[in-house]
Amino acid sequence: MSSKTQILDFIRGRYPQAEIDESQDIFALGFVNSLFAMELVMFVEKTFGVTIPNEELRIDNFRTADAMSALVSRLSSDLAVA
């Protein structure tokens, strides 16, 4: 299962009433609060074995499943290089 699919499954699991695709801005839907943001970051770090540094905790990295998947790829490649 791709990282994008896993991220979408997590968001849909928390907000099953929302219709979300991989390019949809979840912030525009209006249900993202600091609690969900924390859960989302914990989910990404746990599921993909990465640590998101402070400088990557930017809204644009979390707007869409596409953006989060790209973040995971970037951090995973950093991990591989290290």
Is position 74 an interface residue for another protein (rule: CB under 8 A)?
no
Least distance to another protein, CB of residue 38, Å: 4
- Rounded Cα–Cα distance for residues 56 and 14 (Å): 23
Is position 41 an interface residue for another protein (rule: CB under 8 A)?
yes
Is position 14 an interface residue for another protein (rule: CB under 8 A)?
yes
- Rounded Cα–Cα distance for residues 7 and 80 (Å): 21
Residue type, 41: V
Question: Applying CB under 8 A, which of residues 5, 9, 38, 74 lies at the interface with another protein?
Answer: 38
Is position 79 an interface residue for another protein (rule: CB under 8 A)?
no
Closest CA to 68 of 8, 14, 1, 9: 8
